Amino acid sequence: MKSTKYKVIFEPFTERHFIKSFAKKYKGAWDFTLRLLEKEFEQIDLLFLKNVAETIVDSEEIKICKTEFKIASTQQSRHGSGNRCIVALHKDTNTVCVLLVYHKNNLGDGNETAKWKQIIKENYPKYKDLL
């Protein structure tokens, strides 16, 4: 199967927030992990084939997805790590915008999905109506 090559953008909000804590905690392993994430998102279609990406919303122009990832050089699996990304795939421009990179404990107690949706609504007005 031929995969579309997407341009990947890590949004400033996610850079300022949770990515900082990953970089501090995992140092060099995080840099490698971040490059891997970018490569994966460049061919995000393949993540859907491997059931690594889950579609949350699929509108005509934008698909919002949740993916799991592991930190390079750790023994945890993608699923067992608790690490997640929320991305917006813009179909018309072949762009993947990384909205959140977090560990499920970063969001506190309660329903994880409800919490990240609220964060997206509060910090990304253009996606508010999709969620």
User: Per DSSP, what are the bridge partners of residue 69?
Assistant: 83
pLDDT in tens, 18-73: 888 899 989 889 999 999 999 999 999 999 888 889 999 999 999 999 999 999 98
The domain ranges of the chain are: 7-126
Rounded to whole angstroms, the Cα distance separating 35 from 96 reads 14
pTM to 2 decimal places: 0.92
Kindly state which CATH superfamily the domain 7-126 is placed in: RelE-like (3.30.2310.20)
13 exposed, middle or buried (CB, 10 Å; 0-12, 13-18, 19+)?
Answer: middle
